[in-house]
Structure 1
């Protein structure tokens, strides 16, 4: 699943992402695309036990792949 959050003002990207994460099962992944690096989201993901990886895209946006871990 890809969630394109580009063009949204904070905190909308984070709220949309957290809502979608609630639907993930262990081992499932969601990819989000944001205009900015989601610093506050990283803190939340770490606290909730999600794995995440960020790639900077050529257009200046960021692709974040988030996986629900089983821990």
Structure 2
């Protein structure tokens, strides 16, 4: 899946936990500093936000009309 914001996308909307977290961490490990990835979910991942901040990543969250949370994460 490609997206205008970044080619690195994890569509975790239909994954069961802990799949979204694991897929996000695996994708982050492949990114170079400054690269971005996009995580798509149907709920806001508050525990993930803590882990991202602890590891020095920044993120922006946008709620789309269909109920999808787009979390754009920068390594």
TM-score, with normalisation over the residues of structure 2?
A: 0.86
What RMSD over aligned residues (CA atoms) do the two structures have, in Å? 0.8
How far apart, CA to CA, are the structure 2 residues paired with 1:23 and 1:11? 19
Q: Could you list the structure 1 runs, at least 4 aligned residues long, displaced by more than 2 angstroms after superposition.
A: none
CA deviation string 1:23-61 (max 9, x = no partner): 111110001101110111000000000010000011112
- Structure having the higher strand fraction is 1
How far apart, CA to CA, are the structure 1 residues paired with 2:40 and 2:49? 14
How far apart, CA to CA, are the structure 2 residues paired with 1:19 and 1:2? 12
Partner of 1:33: 40
1:52 aligns with 2:59: yes
TM-score, with normalisation over the residues of structure 1?
A: 0.90
Gaps (5+ residues) in structure 1? none
The alignment covers a number of residue pairs equal to: 68
- Larger RCO (alpha carbons 8 Å, 6+ apart): 1
